[in-house]
Amino acid sequence: MEKVQKIAVYPGTFDPFTSGHMDIVNRVLPLVDHLIIAVSQHSEKNPLFSVDERVSLITHELSQTCKSVSHQTTVEVLSFEGLLVTFAKNVKAQMIIRGLRAVSDFEYEFMMAAMNARLGPEIETLFLMASDHFQFISSQVVKEVARLGGDVSQFVSPYIDQKLKERFFLQN
């Protein structure tokens, strides 16, 4: 009997990919056989980096810092647009992974999980609480601090920190 692969989708805009995002990735890896980091083209958030840039940045991060406990766990970075549940079905995922920082995150994520359960009842949504030292990190705040010239090196990798500096330096 062939073992069914446990496939999970971790969706987000990831603009930029933070240490909190990497923490969620590292904590999910022991639970799945294949993790797809799904970069949303969600244009309403007015991203700093294009979707292709975000995919590239995350791919670079994974090659440098991903700590898979199982050498059989694979990670893939893909972009998507449209309904997340449709994307999850297309990649044959059984799980959607969502990180939670605060109660305000939970309210929104709870509504989204309920809708996704209606649209794709075969796909479970799993919530992971952010580790305590990452609970206050959000991509939006990191971008704002970086835009104003603040030091965000404790919230992102050195590579992402450099890319933020380059982006804001070129825009000024």
| Residues forming the active site | 21, 45, 101, 139
96, 122 contact by CB (below 8 A): no
| Residue 135 buriedness (CB in 10 A; 0-12 / 13-18 / 19+) | middle
Instruction: Give the pair of three-digit tokens for residue 9.
Output: 């989708």
Instruction: Please state whether the peptide bond connecting residue 121 to the residue before it is cis, i.e. omega within 30 degrees of 0.
Output: no
Collapsing DSSP to helix, strand or coil, 130 comes out as coil
CA-to-CA distance for 73 and 5, rounded, in angstroms? Answer: 10
* Cβ partners under 8 Å of residue 30, min gap 6: 69, 70, 73
* Residue indicated by tokens 């104003």: 148
Return the closest-CA partner of residue 141 out of 11, 10, 19, 9: 19
Between the CA atoms of 122, 115, 20 and 5, what dihedral angle is there, to the nearest 10 degrees? 10
